[in-house]
Chain A
């Protein structure tokens, strides 16, 4: 089966004075449809940089990123936002919900960016939030939601556009154990039911139970990979 997302010898170097520092160094990585790939590693190991490159947010210094076999690393600045909007869903450690929008409006924003009609937007948003157990929280602002509810809204926002790949950066870092479990269950459900790829960067030991592949990153290099 062809990987949904593949990185080939991906590197990102930053110039600090006259010295080039490698945040990510020649990383090769792949995730198949229906799989959850977990990237673990200590702080500063390059997890966030790798996720940024995989999500077409950050351009690599060298190497290739293949999305369903297509090299997206060399796309123009005008094409990249379109690829991000259509192919990726993002879940962030600190949620990054819009504080001035309700839970429903937060989720709808992803569809508004894709110019989806109001009727379809509403149907899909309400349906997804209900499936995330937030039917009675739809008109609440983020400030009135618990951490677990916020992360579920963020996941709903990432999934509502039906992306091919979901990239989650420390999705349980701000949650208690029970809410962490719920979030991982949701991500596994998304991967298995929809046949989509999920990449998670996490410190959380529970994450290993849900992952199909685990990549261990240290100093910007993949050290261990387990299936």
Chain B
């Protein structure tokens, strides 16, 4: 019966084209919105997820990585010497202005870390090494910032917060939700450059790496006891909290969700309308099939297969379009996180919505009296 459905779907080419236009638009909208949302959440949590940290010591009530409230870094002493810790290093986070060659200034997020430690710094380098920021006024800038900052040439001198600083490395995939370029420096230099004196000798986080990551919950509990004025978060808990903040508290999640759902509704409407119009146009043929002995299952298969064909063809056009728009969008700093898992998941959702949209056609054919074939 799928054969019959295919012939029926492709019989009226003009209608098929109109349907596909609607389905492609809807699938693209849903795919792009979801990928955009995931991309933003990946950016918002990229440093948390990749900086090699098992536990984060943060100020109480921290909501996300970018908006940290500093606390005295001497609290580090309270946990030093714990046998379970492999590393415990402070990370500073501040905002500054990087002067561009044309004299303009660009707001950047400055992350200060200990270049000797394997936590808190860049994790994927295009050139240079994370340890290169040590021993002077050096910085590593993420390659995603090249669009805004211009050419990132190793050894070039820049001006950050009115201080000369040398570019010693270029990192990859270090982004934030705000899309502001990330500049990595040593913790010491970052402290020194902070114009706010109250923030000097203050850490945004203490990044902890455990000897045995399996002990994470037990160590977190112990640290909560040692540092009652701080919040101790596992990496996964910090990721969840950051996502929750950007999704719920800013209302951004609802906006993205609404657009993605609207995309699905447009798709469902288009497919439902087309399949219904096709069904109504061919009621005589459905009645004939019923008279000829087609079962309810045969007829349902014809209708559902038409909806599935519309969804599959439309979706398979929308996916390359989304992939094609990935690179141009990413040049503007927007991450479109399209991967196989997302494509598979959204395909299932699109297919399910398309099949559900065929409900009214199925009802119409189920109630169709095959005796109408004898009435001319």
Interface residues of A (CB under 8 A from B): 48-49, 51-52, 55, 57-58, 78, 81-86, 88, 90, 92-94, 96, 98-101, 105, 109-110, 112-114, 169-170, 173
Residues A96 and B288 in contact, CB atoms below 8 Å apart: yes
Are the CB atoms of A81 and B285 closer together than 8 Å?
no
Q: Chain B interface (Cβ within 8 Å of chain A)? A: 1, 3-4, 7-8, 11, 284-285, 287-296, 298, 369-371, 373-376
Docked-complex contact A57 and B7, CB < 8 angstroms: no
Given A101-B7, A112-B3, A113-B289, A96 contacting B373 (CB threshold 8 A): yes
CA–CA, A225 and B295, complex, Å:
36
The 9 A-B pairs with the shortest beta carbon distances in the complex, nearest first, are A85-B293, A100-B11, A48-B374, A84-B293, A52-B371, A96-B288, A93-B376, A58-B371, A81-B295
A109 to B302 Cα, complex, angstroms: 13
Q: Do residues B371 and A94 form an inter-chain contact, with CB atoms below 8 A?
A: no
- The answer to whether B292 touches A113 (Cβ under 8 A) is yes
User: Do the beta carbons of A92 and B374 come within 8 Å of each other?
Assistant: yes
B41 → chain A, closest Cβ, in Å? 47
B37 nearest CB across to chain A (Å): 42
A94 touches B376 (CB 8 A): yes
Contacts of B295 in A (CB 8 A): 78, 81-82
- The answer to whether residues A57 and B371 also contact, given A100-B11, A101-B7 and a CB cut-off of 8 A, is yes
CB of B120 to closest CB in A, whole Å: 66
Contact A173 B292 (CB under 8 A): no
Given A100-B8, A113-B292, check contact A92 B285 (CB 8 Å).
Answer: no
Which residues on the A side are within 8 Å of B371 (C-beta)? 48-49, 52, 57-58
Q: Tell me the interface secondary structure of chain A in the complex.
A: mixed
Of all chain B residues, the one with the shortest Cβ separation from A154 is B288
Taking each of A55, A58, A83, A100, which has the highest tally of chain B beta carbons within 10 Å of its own beta carbon? A100
Q: Return chain A residues, CB-CB under 8 Å to B376.
A: 92-94, 170, 173
**Shortest Cβ distance from residue B274 to the other chain A in the assembled complex, whole angstroms:** 15
| B290:A81 contact, CB within 8 angstroms | yes
User: Is B293 within 8 A of A82, CB to CB?
Assistant: yes
Taking A92-B376, A96-B287, A170-B376 as known contacts, 11 extra A-B pairs with beta carbons closer than 8 A to each other, sorted by chain A number, are A57-B290, A57-B370, A57-B373, A81-B290, A81-B296, A90-B291, A90-B292, A92-B373, A96-B373, A98-B285, A113-B298
CA A100 to CA B288, docked complex, whole Å: 14
A200 to chain B, nearest CB (A): 13
B291 touches A55 (CB 8 A): yes
In the bound complex, do residue B293 and residue A100 qualify as a contact, i.e. CB atoms below 8 Å apart? Answer: no
Q: Cβ of B284: which chain A residues have Cβ within 8 Å of it?
A: 96
A49 vs chain B, min Cβ distance (A)? 8
In the assembly, what is the distance between CA of A85 and CA of B289, in Å?
A: 9
Residues of the A chain whose Cβ atoms lie less than 8 Å from the Cβ of B288: 90, 92, 96, 98
Tell me the complex Cα distance, A88–B298, Å: 18
User: A84, B292: Cβ atoms under 8 Å?
Assistant: yes
Measured in the bound complex, the distance between the Cα atoms of B374 and A107 in whole Å is 19
Whole-angstrom distance between the Cβ of A122 and the nearest chain B Cβ: 14
Give the docked Cα–Cα distance between A99 and B8 (Å): 9
User: In the complex, are the beta carbons of B374 and A113 less than 8 A apart?
Assistant: no
B294's nearest neighbour on chain A, judged by CB, is: A113
For B294, list chain A residues within 8 Å (CB).
Answer: 81, 85, 113
16 pairs of residues in contact across A and B, judged by CB atoms under 8 Å: A48-B374, A49-B374, A81-B295, A82-B295, A84-B292, A85-B293, A85-B294, A86-B293, A92-B374, A94-B376, A96-B285, A100-B8, A100-B11, A109-B4, A112-B4, A113-B298
